[in-house]
Amino acid sequence: MSAESNVTHRARALAPGEGETIWFLHNRMTIKATASGTGGAYGLFETWVAPGFSPPLHVHHREDESFWILDGDFTMRCGDETFRGTTGAYFFLPRGVPHTFVNESSSPGHLLTLLTPGGGEAAFVEGGRPAEREGLPPAAPIDVEKLQRIGQKYGHEIVGPPMKPAAAEKP
């Protein structure tokens, strides 16, 4: 057996807070598992999402994306469907379908995200930077051109703007 095929036969344990922690857009992400550590099966990361934050509408062409809300109130859009969920809710977003989400909470939301198969988690690492301290990164404009450039490498594509929180859409 090659060394790569043995990867999934080794146990791995991470304590709370362990893993590579990055700032990506307005979020703090801790990478818990990567394709290289799961034999390509999945990538798993924990994310703290800034209040009111939404990534641009995007498509993952190579992997499905699942979210489990650990804390908070989120609206998810996938294709023509919109779902609202709070702590404990689960969402499955199939590959090839445009999707986004917004944190409707007034405090940081907390998500567990699973990419299947793995590999796409590397786009977040490449597009982010090591977290410089505890908490969320300072707010800054989203560099859509950078996301598009990185996305080409990982099969991700920006196809529209971020969502607005429900409170922002009321007159």
What is the topology classification, in CATH, of domain 18-133+141-169? Jelly Rolls (2.60.120)
Which residue ranges make up each domain of the chain? 18-133+141-169
Residues 75-112: tens digit of each pLDDT: 999 999 999 999 999 999 999 999 999 999 999 999 99
Rounded to two decimals, the pTM is: 0.88
Exposed e or buried b for every residue in 18-48, given b needs 16+ CB within 10 A?
ebebbbbbbbbbbbbbbbebbebebbbbbbb
Check whether 67 has a pLDDT greater than 90.
yes
Residues 103-155: tens digit of each pLDDT: 999 999 999 999 999 999 999 999 999 999 999 999 899 999 999 999 999 99
